[in-house]
Structure 1
Amino acid sequence: MSRAPTRGAGGADAAQEPAPDQVEGAPHPRETAGLHGQEAAERAFLAAWAGGRLHHAWLLRGPRGVGKATLAYRLARALLVHGDAAPETLDIDPQRPVARRVAAGSEPRLKTLRRSADKSGKLRTQLTVDVVRDARAFFGLTAADGGWRVAIVDPADEMNPSAANALLKILEEPPQRAMLLLVSHAPGRLLPTIRSRCRTLDLGPLDGEAFAKALAEAGAAEAAPPALGVLAGGSPGEALRLAAEDGPALYARLARLMAGAPGLDRAALIALADAAAGRAAAARYAMTLELTGTLLRRLARAGALGHGPEAAPGEAALAARLAPDAARARLWAEMAAETAAKADRARLVNLDPAGVILDIWLAIDAAAGRAIAA
């Protein structure tokens, strides 16, 4: 016999569970009522709804931190409130019972699929098949009011192969009055068969005014410094995360280190690696790898398109020396890809963080030698 989903059956989020999609100190996307700068994506969904073309699966794709998860929760709230009667706006009074339950992670008709914690309480590195199987059970139930049920996969990019195949089976045989919302920072990582079964909503970087409003709504204490805005690339979520880890200062440190290449300051390099070593420095290690990749990509972009606003003092001069043309832009683009692959391999086999940073930066130093000699 069908029954309403319950928390025990997997129908509601547990608010106390680890939240890999939340920036520390900022509201969770499920608690955020408004969304700035993504009106085109909202209009596209509302038009499909009003036209009776409400697809069972939607892929929300775009850069990290531009509001994809926030939009997913806005779509879910609106659908659970209005059902088949398409509204003119996705805005929902935050005091409505559905909105309150969604914010608290206790709405029985909404399920969030994300990386779970292992027995030690540590977040797994991938979204595993058991999480998707919970969603199958959730969709196998019938809502008490006969209305919609919604599952948000956040982010879908983190599914391992078994989880992706399990999700594909749901997409191939979609339940009645059920919707899947897939949040994706890197849709190229998804199975082509998953992408082909979803309608797509594209979300882009925010412009100055929308970016500032989104930061203020997320609780940013003060106006973002210019370097933070440049590094965040129009992503409020990324700006908040960078600010929490003092990203602009770390990026400036990396740019100073790069200014010595070829022939890096070994003492400065060792100090950089040591600062990212140990379990307590896990966030610093991740940010160091990420911003190293950012520096390489910005060098490649400067060589191909010219240098834009600086994200650190002396960055333009650094690009003029190491990436003065398209040929050397390709060298740095290849180096960025190689560095990302090394970082991914290091995470999979749990290599020593200090050793990984040393290895990556020595390879960068050798690439700088090739750039100068070219």
Structure 2
Amino acid sequence: MSRAPRAPKEQVFAEDPDQAVRAMPDLFGHVAAAETLQRAALSGRLPHAWMLAGPPGIGKATLGYRFGRWLLAGGAEGSVPLGSTPLNLDPQHTTFRRIAAGAHADLRALRPNTGEKGGVKLVIRVEDVRDAIRFLAMTPAEGGWRFVLVDGAEMLRPEAANALLKTLEEPPPRAVLVLTTAAPDRLLPTIRSRVRRLDLSPLDAAVLDPLLGRLLPELNATERATLGRIAEGSAGQAVALAEGEGLALQALVDQALGELGDRRNWHRIADAVAAKRDGSGFATFIALLRRAISSAVRQAARGQGAPGWLGERPLAEWSTLWDSLGRLAAETDVLSLDRKQAVLTALLWLSPSRR
């Protein structure tokens, strides 16, 4: 008696975290930086290495990919019509579509990703960099340029950074390297001195709101405005906050700061913050708390007005408290301390009774 054929095993494909970035057709902010890149390419004297620096989540990699696909499509040679925005390439262009699919032979991207043991790899390894260096040294497959994007260059391991430095010192012809970083001071001074740096600023509300409308269509205008405010001009941070219950946690931060000294709701707040077993709620709560404090202190220092709770203590004490909250979060994570108790400790520090 023959057996029934087995059903084929379901294939599970790894999520591609870069796909949405590679496929973004529009330029949100950073017009001046895009114009600088385009001008340099059209001049015929294109620097071989660039650094796009700025806070996390503001579109550094998006701009890097935009530059790469325009360059590989022949933009520097005048093969791409100049559009109303710099580095523009029609989404139907074959180069755009292939890069969006991660299938262009002359573009490679390095970014921290999942490590060999299943954990989060917080570094870019030397093996990956050496592979990218060999890639840059090859003749372009399509006769134009070779392009490498290193996203999160501050996470290069020391030996990886040194390997990259050799390529920066002796760049191959018709090859472009773009580094993105949220912490340029963590890069080797010798690397910083051999790249052309473009500093990107957080997106203002007029630019960020329509972008969040596209990325987070399920939220209403008030929720998007709140996320934009607490994300301080970072679309990536706003999306992360939305996915991590950032609006609810911000409401708890507002309540805690608005009720300084009133202990009746402390345990309810602490329970809500510590509810997620992975600790993400606690990390976000402390980050939002510190962000609220630093923002209020900056407002007061500029004479722009500040929330009433800031007057509960001198500005210098708020700065010290900001540092203490950062250490509390780090110790709680590293030592696996009780998160609810850590929240209660933070609320006690906030209380004016500590003065």
Give the shorter-chain TM-score range: 0.7 to 0.9
Match of 1:41 among 33, 45, 56: 33
Q: Contact 1:301 / 1:329 at 8 angstroms: preserved in 2?
A: no
Q: Deviations over 1:203-224 (max 9, x none)?
A: 2222333222222343533425
User: Which ranges of structure 1 fall in alignment gaps of 5 or more residues?
Assistant: 1-14, 310-315, 323-327
Task: Give the aligned residue type for 2:64.
Answer: A
Q: Distance in 2 between matches of 1:224 and 1:164?
A: 43
Q: How big is each residue's C-alpha offset from its partner over 1:235-280, in whole Å with a ceiling of 9 and x where there is no partner?
A: 222222222222122022023234455686652464155324x3xx
CA distance in 2, matches of 1:135, 1:339: 40
The equivalent residue for 2:5 is none
In the TM superposition, residue 368 of structure 1 has moved relative to its aligned partner by: 5.2
Counterpart contact for 2:54–2:182, Cα < 8 Å: yes
- Residue of structure 1 in register with 2:293 after alignment: 296
Q: Partners of 1:17 and 1:134 in 2: how far apart? A: 22
Pick aligned residue for 2:47 from 43, 55, 65: 55
Q: Aligned residue for 2:317?
A: 331
Aligned counterparts of 1:342 and 1:174: Cα–Cα separation in 2: 45
Q: 2:335 aligned with 1:351, yes or no?
A: yes
Note closer, same or farther for the CA distance 1:229–1:92 as it changes in structure 2 (3 Å cut). Answer: same
Q: Distance in 2 between matches of 1:165 and 1:339?
A: 35
Moved over 6 A (4+): none
Give 1:48 deviation, angstroms. Answer: 1.3
CA contact (8 A) 2:249 2:281 kept: no
Output aligned runs, 1:59-98, within 5 Å.
59-82=51-74, 84-86=76-78, 88=82, 89-98=86-95
Specify the alignment match of 1:103 in structure 2: 100
3-state SS in 2 of match to 1:105: coil
> Structure 1 residue 359: deviation in Å?
4.3
- After superposing the two structures, state which structure 1 stretch, 131-140 or 361-370, moved more: 361-370
Asked whether the equivalents of residues 155 and 184 of structure 1 are also in contact (C-alpha less than 8 Å), the reply is yes
Q: Which region of structure 1 is more displaced relative to structure 2, 153-162 or 67-76?
A: 153-162
- Tell me how far apart the structure 1 counterparts of residues 145 and 332 of structure 2 sit (CA, whole Å): 42
The aligned residue for residue 248 of structure 1 is 247
Q: Please tell me the root mean square deviation across aligned C-alpha atoms, in Å.
A: 2.9
Letter in 1 for 2:21: P
Q: What is the letter of the counterpart of residue 213 of structure 1?
A: P
Deviation of the 1:73 alpha carbon = 0.5
Aligned length: 335
Q: 1:337 to 1:172 in 2, by over 3 A?
A: farther
1:149-202: CA deviation from partner (whole Å, max 9, x where unpaired): 111111112223333223222222222211111112222222222222111222
Shift of 1:360: 7.2
Cα distance per residue 1:294-315 (max 9 Å; x no partner): 1231232244234668xxxxxx
Gaps (5+ residues) in structure 2?
1-12
| Matching residue of 1:275 | 275
Please report how far the alpha carbon of residue 363 of structure 1 lies from its aligned counterpart in structure 2 after TM superposition.
5.7
Which position in structure 1 is the counterpart of 2:21?
29
Match for 1:53: what amino acid? Answer: R
Amino acid at match of 2:36: A
- Which structure is larger by alpha-carbon Rg, 1 or 2? 2
> Does the C-alpha gap of structure 1 residues 343 and 191 become closer, same or farther in structure 2, counting only changes over 3 Å?
farther
Query: Does residue 233 in structure 1 map to residue 232 in structure 2?
Result: yes
Quick one: which amino acid aligns to residue 175 of structure 1?
Answer: P
| Counterparts of 2:165 and 2:46, CA distance in 1 | 19
Q: Distance in 1 between matches of 2:169 and 2:42?
A: 24
Q: Provide the residue aligned with 2:8 in structure 1.
A: none
Report the counterpart of residue 216 of structure 1 in structure 2.
213
1:180 aligns with 2:164: no
| 2:148 matched residue in structure 1 | 151
With over 3 angstroms needed to count, the CA separation of the structure-2 counterparts of 1:244 and 1:53, relative to structure 1, is: same
Paired position in structure 1 for 2:196: 199
TM-score (norm 2): 0.82
Alpha-carbon separation, structure 2, partners of 1:294 and 1:321: 17
Cα pair distance change 1:206/1:269, threshold 3 Å: closer
Equivalent position SS for 1:127: coil
In the aligned structure 1, how far is the partner of 2:44 from the partner of 2:341?
A: 56
User: 2:109·2:151 contact (CA, 8 Å) conserved in 1?
Assistant: yes
- Whether the 8 Å contact between 2:51 and 2:198 is mirrored in structure 1 is yes
2:345 to 355, 362, 369: 362
Alpha-carbon contact 1:63-1:204 (below 8 Å) kept: yes
* CA–CA separation in structure 2 for the residues paired with 1:64 and 1:266: 31
The aligned amino acid for 1:333 is S
Q: 1:294–1:173: structure 2 CA closer, same or farther, 3 Å change rule?
A: same
Distance in 2, matches of 1:73 and 1:212, equals: 22
CA, structure 1 residues 130+34, in 2 after alignment: closer, same or farther (shift >3 Å)? same
Q: TM-score, length-normalised on structure 1?
A: 0.78
Q: State the match for 2:310 in structure 1.
A: 319
CA contact (8 A) 1:118 1:124 kept: yes
SS state at 2:254 partner: helix
Q: Which amino acid aligns with 2:317?
A: L
Deviation at 1:342, TM superposition (A): 5.4
